[in-house]
Chain A
Amino acid sequence: MRKPIYILYAFCFLLSSNLVTAQEMGLHFMTDIFQANKTNPAFMTEQRIVYTLPGFAFNFHHTASSYNDLIRTDANGQNILDLDGVIGKLKNHNIVRLGFDMELANTTFGTKIWRGSVTHALRSRVFAAYPKSLVDLGWNGNESFIGRSVNIAPEFQAMAYSELGLGFAMKLPKITVGGRVKILSGIFDISTGYAEAAVRTDEEFYQLHLSTFYSINSSSIAGSTSFDNFEPEFAMRVLSRNWGLAFDLGATMELSDKVTVAASLIDLGGINWNANVTNQTSQGAYTYEGLNIANILRDDELEVEQSLDTLEQIFDFQESNNGYFTPLPGKMYVSTTYEINKVFTAGGMLYVEQFRQRTLGGFGLNMTARVGKILTAGMTYSVFSRTYDNLGLNAAVKLGPFQMFVLTDNIIAMVRPFDSRNTNLRFGMNLAFK
């Protein structure tokens, strides 16, 4: 138990020291750099031609707890793993997200009226949703669930894909509209399809009823989901049999010289997984009523083995090879900015993300300062999915055509990584020409 948690957290925070964000609240307000266009395709930079150099983005979010929430230190200084406090705070469904993007090359070009863009990135997403009852059942046992049916099925998706985007933005009087078509090519995916597994402990004499309707789909262009025979060159392919489409739509409106509002929908679409697909499906129902004394009397032997056989049959996954579709995590940004003066701009934003029927959301406040023509620095405070301690910093430097930027939406996670449930980091460099 201890090791995986350690490794998970270590991995997350190690990456967070180098890479970049995902709900991207800070990025949304960094309109001086082209990458803000990822959050709203109607955003147009001052520079008419921009080439981006490779950059990275990373995000991690757990709706339930930080690592230190799981640990209690007693009077003797012993660190005790204790989930009692955490379970009370869990929601019915809890989500762990992990994202890693590698921005390979982007370019934008055009005039003051319109812009076209071509983007390419490799993206990976890990998503897991687990019911509170699964943790509660595992930690506290089933006694408190007597007479109730408990869903214990976790959902998850881990996928990687490449994305080729063609974007266009047009500036109209007071309004700028933009859109992007993204051609997706799935590299690999492993995800749950049906995710129902219920345990019921009967009131009578605690008979255990177990039912499953659970499927795991997997696909990989490498011919196998195993890393042993994964061939990296596939990752660079623009289009594979795992193809998909997604759209970004956005608009900005200048309400006055100082006030601008913006709204966007990002990643509307998904991927059809057809290459080397495997579907594993478990469907069955089983009741365990303890040892049947009658059978022992009849057969003169214990039926434990028989019970295990039946259990094995229930969890015996049937294999098929049918293609399937997974949506991308769709996002919505609605924001407004107010230019206080030439240096400071204040902003506010609502953010909603939906993935696999789960919705996460938050809002953020931003203050950006433009220090001369070289430095733009900003600070955000955001509330995201019941986390209230997200203080973000961002900075972009322009040295001639060279731009470099870094941002995080939660600088506190850098100081207290084991107390944080939410972190992200983005870093990139551009060449921008007027």
Chain B
Amino acid sequence: MRKFIGRFPAVLLLLCGMAACSQFEDFKEVDEVDFQPSIAIPILHSDLSIQEIIDEDDDLSFLEVLPDGQLLLTYESDPTAVGPTELLPILPDFPVVIPEKSTTAPFKPFTQGSVTLMELSSGTLEFQLRSSELQDVMVTVRIPSLKRGGIPFEERVTIQYTGTSPAEANIAPVDVAGYVLESVNDEIQVAYEAQMAGQPVDIEPIVGEARNWTFSTIQGDFDAQTVSLQRDSVRLELFDNWTQGTVSFEDPQLALYIENSFGFPAVANIRRLQAITVDGQVIDFESSLPGNRFEVGHPELSDMGMSRTTRYLFNKDNSNIDDVLNARAQWLVYELDVTFNPEDQNGQTGFVRSDSELSTYVDVELPIYGAASGFEIEESAKFELTDTEDIIEGELKILTDNGIPLGVDLQFYFTNDQDQIVDSLFEDRTLVLPAAQVDLNGDISQVGQATTLVPVSAERLDRMRSYKDIITSARLSTTDNGSRSVRVKADQELNIRMGATLTVDPQ
């Protein structure tokens, strides 16, 4: 007994140790973690003015800002142009005959008028000479009307007598690039000198030929000439994806621009100006422009090399442009003729340069001051929920402060593999972005605010994973559902914040 008592603490200690060790067998290893946290996270935020958006987004080049901050929608057609070849034909090769020692030769390369001065950029001049003399004859061919650096064209050649009469000689093709040819009354001065043993003699008429002449500048008096420009059109993307609703602009404008570097008076004649609406209707564009013609400016002789721009503006005061646009015009098509020297005034010198051009384009300018009501656009895109396997359910929260007098209500539709709409994100269309309130001038008086909650249950999220496409349907209305005109300006701001609560299963 005493021995046992003496060992009692050691036995107790041993029992404690054994008991503890034996219990490690009962350790429960974790097979699974029941972990489904609900997290709330901010997703995005932005505070942008329209000016910032325009500055940074290259795709918005159709938006411009007027000096007073007003926003301007512009749609511009590609320019269509005519050059010198449409006005004057290519210079033909022509003969140059010198029948006497000093005389004039005819020079009328174009039927459209008289050339008074021609700066040559390329081409050649060659001659054939004959002599009936029984000795060598030295000949100098001179064209006083053709000068380079103020020095007339001059070439020398010896007609060598070889025992056969008449003796012949040629002046090989001479490059005339850089020469300036001056013509008076469609004639040029030509001459030759011939000497035999130091004494002047006559030879047979010299026959020459100008080949492949091109010009850098032509001055002259040309007849009236009409050139047709290619048909052109401009697309108003505003109505892309439109499905319904109305939009009206207070002050729409269509500007027709003509840039002209031909040195002639000209008149533009609008042969056709029509609008094609989104539903395929063709509407004639009517204006108070007499005869649909207007004068086109041109550079004077002293402005050679420059161009003059003529802008003809159609607005609601001189045309039916507001009716045309409000009919949802999607295309504007126009055709134009330009008549040069329309008055056919003799003695008036004009010019053509090898780089002269008359180009034209139209520019539809829509200052965003107007109203829209239920202006609905739709766009479809592939729908795929990627990297969302861990999400069980959630709710999106969207907050907006809209300083723009344009509101947007949204609906998102989902389609199945058969392209049938089977679901929508909201039960009813939801005003996500209410328009700002405006004063009597159409300027902002109060920011529009909204909070939108988009709950997505687990069942719905599962269904959404099978959807194929998402159709975004946005309906835009200006303040008070488009009952009054508003101004959209560059300094107006839009603030959007979005967050989400998500229940996730990280396993």
Chain A interfacial positions (CB closer than 8 Å to B): 1-2, 6, 9-10, 13-14, 16-18, 67-68, 71-73, 78-82, 84, 138-144, 146, 201-202, 204-208, 288-294, 297-298, 371-372, 374-375, 377, 393, 395-397, 399, 404-406, 408, 411, 413-418, 425, 427
Cross-chain pairs A/B with CB under 8 angstroms, 28 sampled: A2-B29, A10-B24, A10-B27, A17-B18, A18-B17, A71-B28, A73-B28, A79-B30, A79-B31, A80-B33, A140-B37, A140-B38, A141-B37, A141-B39, A143-B38, A205-B42, A288-B42, A291-B45, A292-B45, A293-B46, A297-B53, A297-B56, A397-B8, A406-B10, A413-B20, A414-B19, A415-B19, A427-B13
CB pair A290 B498 closer than 8 Å: yes
CB pair B30 A2 closer than 8 Å: yes
Q: Which residues of A contact B53 (CB under 8 A)?
A: 297
CB pair B399 A205 closer than 8 Å: yes
| Residue among B9, B20, B43, B52 making CB contact with A395, cutoff 8 Å | B9
Chain B interfacial positions (CB closer than 8 Å to A): 2, 5-10, 12-13, 15-21, 23-24, 26-35, 37-48, 52-53, 56-57, 397, 399, 496-501, 503-504
Q: Which residues of B contact A201 (CB under 8 A)?
A: 40
Tally of A-B Cβ pairs under 8 angstroms:
176
Residue of B nearest to A18 (CB): B17
Q: Which of B7, B21, B499 has the most CB of A within 10 A?
A: B499
CB pair A418 B26 closer than 8 Å: yes
CB pair A298 B56 closer than 8 Å: yes
| Residue among B5, B21, B499 making CB contact with A371, cutoff 8 Å | B5
Q: Which residues of B contact A399 (CB under 8 A)?
A: 6
Separation in Å of the A371 CB from the closest CB of chain B?
7
CB pair A17 B16 closer than 8 Å: yes
| Residue among A72, A141, A293 making CB contact with B45, cutoff 8 Å | A293
Q: Which residues of B contact A288 (CB under 8 A)?
A: 42
| Residue among A14, A292, A405 making CB contact with B9, cutoff 8 Å | A405
- Contacts A1-B33, A18-B17, A404-B9 given; indicate if A208 touches B42 (C-beta within 8 A): yes
Residue of B nearest to A293 (CB): B46
Give 6 closest A-B pairs by Cβ, nearest first. Answer: A141-B37, A293-B46, A205-B499, A17-B17, A206-B499, A290-B42
| Residue among A82, A292, A297, A298 making CB contact with B34, cutoff 8 Å | A82
CB pair B39 A13 closer than 8 Å: no
- Contacts A294-B47, A374-B6 given; indicate if A408 touches B16 (C-beta within 8 A): yes
Q: Which residues of B contact A393 (CB under 8 A)?
A: 12
Give the distance in Å from the alpha carbon of A21 to the alpha carbon of B34 in the complex. 35
CB pair B5 A375 closer than 8 Å: yes
Give the distance in Å from the alpha carbon of A297 to the alpha carbon of B53 in the complex. 8
Residue of A nearest to B16 (CB): A414
Q: Which residues of B contact A144 (CB under 8 A)?
A: 38
CB pair B32 A293 closer than 8 Å: no
Q: Which residues of A contact B40 (CB under 8 A)?
A: 141-143, 146, 201, 206
Give the distance in Å from the alpha carbon of A291 to the alpha carbon of B41 in the complex. 11
CB pair B20 A13 closer than 8 Å: yes
CB pair A396 B9 closer than 8 Å: yes
CB pair B16 A425 closer than 8 Å: yes
CB pair A289 B57 closer than 8 Å: no
Separation in Å of the B432 CB from the closest CB of chain A?
14
Give the distance in Å from the alpha carbon of A5 to the alpha carbon of B197 in the complex. 129
CB pair A80 B498 closer than 8 Å: no
Q: Which residues of A contact B26 (CB under 8 A)?
A: 418
CB pair B57 A143 closer than 8 Å: no
CB pair A375 B42 closer than 8 Å: no
| Residue among B16, B44, B56, B499 making CB contact with A292, cutoff 8 Å | B44
Give the distance in Å from the alpha carbon of A406 to the alpha carbon of B56 in the complex. 79
Give the distance in Å from the alpha carbon of A297 to the alpha carbon of B26 in the complex. 59
Give the distance in Å from the alpha carbon of A292 to the alpha carbon of B27 in the complex. 49
Q: Which residues of A contact B498 (CB under 8 A)?
A: 205, 290
CB pair A292 B28 closer than 8 Å: no
Residue of B nearest to A137 (CB): B37
CB pair B32 A208 closer than 8 Å: no
CB pair A418 B6 closer than 8 Å: no
CB pair A374 B5 closer than 8 Å: yes
Separation in Å of the B154 CB from the closest CB of chain A?
67
- Contacts A13-B20, A17-B17 given; indicate if A207 touches B9 (C-beta within 8 A): no
Separation in Å of the B19 CB from the closest CB of chain A?
4
Separation in Å of the B403 CB from the closest CB of chain A?
14
Q: Which residues of A contact B45 (CB under 8 A)?
A: 205, 289-293
CB pair B38 A141 closer than 8 Å: yes
Separation in Å of the A3 CB from the closest CB of chain B?
10
| Residue among A6, A143, A395, A418 making CB contact with B39, cutoff 8 Å | A143
Q: Which residues of A contact B43 (CB under 8 A)?
A: 205, 290-291
Residue of A nearest to B39 (CB): A141
Give the distance in Å from the alpha carbon of A2 to the alpha carbon of B29 in the complex. 8
Give the distance in Å from the alpha carbon of A93 to the alpha carbon of B191 in the complex. 119
Give the distance in Å from the alpha carbon of A68 to the alpha carbon of B8 in the complex. 32
Give the distance in Å from the alpha carbon of A142 to the alpha carbon of B502 in the complex. 10
CB pair B20 A16 closer than 8 Å: yes
Separation in Å of the A77 CB from the closest CB of chain B?
9
Q: Which residues of A contact B497 (CB under 8 A)?
A: 204-205, 289-290
Q: Which residues of B contact A208 (CB under 8 A)?
A: 41-42
| Residue among B9, B19, B46, B504 making CB contact with A397, cutoff 8 Å | B9
Q: Which residues of B contact A406 (CB under 8 A)?
A: 9-10, 12-13, 16
Give the distance in Å from the alpha carbon of A411 to the alpha carbon of B6 in the complex. 21
Separation in Å of the A175 CB from the closest CB of chain B?
32
- Contacts A205-B497, A292-B45, A377-B8 given; indicate if A418 touches B19 (C-beta within 8 A): no
Give the distance in Å from the alpha carbon of A294 to the alpha carbon of B9 in the complex. 75
CB pair B6 A79 closer than 8 Å: no
Give the distance in Å from the alpha carbon of A238 to the alpha carbon of B52 in the complex. 71
CB pair A417 B20 closer than 8 Å: yes
Q: Which residues of A contact B16 (CB under 8 A)?
A: 16-17, 406, 408, 411, 414, 425
Separation in Å of the A67 CB from the closest CB of chain B?
8
CB pair B20 A81 closer than 8 Å: no
| Residue among B8, B24, B32 making CB contact with A79, cutoff 8 Å | B32
| Supplied contacts A80-B31, A205-B45, A290-B45, 10 more A-B pairs, CB within 8 Å | A1-B33, A81-B34, A141-B37, A142-B39, A206-B40, A290-B42, A290-B498, A404-B10, A406-B13, A417-B23
CB pair A80 B34 closer than 8 Å: yes
Give the distance in Å from the alpha carbon of A208 to the alpha carbon of B399 in the complex. 16
- Contacts A73-B28, A80-B31 given; indicate if A207 touches B42 (C-beta within 8 A): yes
Give the distance in Å from the alpha carbon of A393 to the alpha carbon of B11 in the complex. 13
Separation in Å of the A65 CB from the closest CB of chain B?
14
Give the distance in Å from the alpha carbon of A18 to the alpha carbon of B20 in the complex. 10
CB pair B46 A292 closer than 8 Å: yes
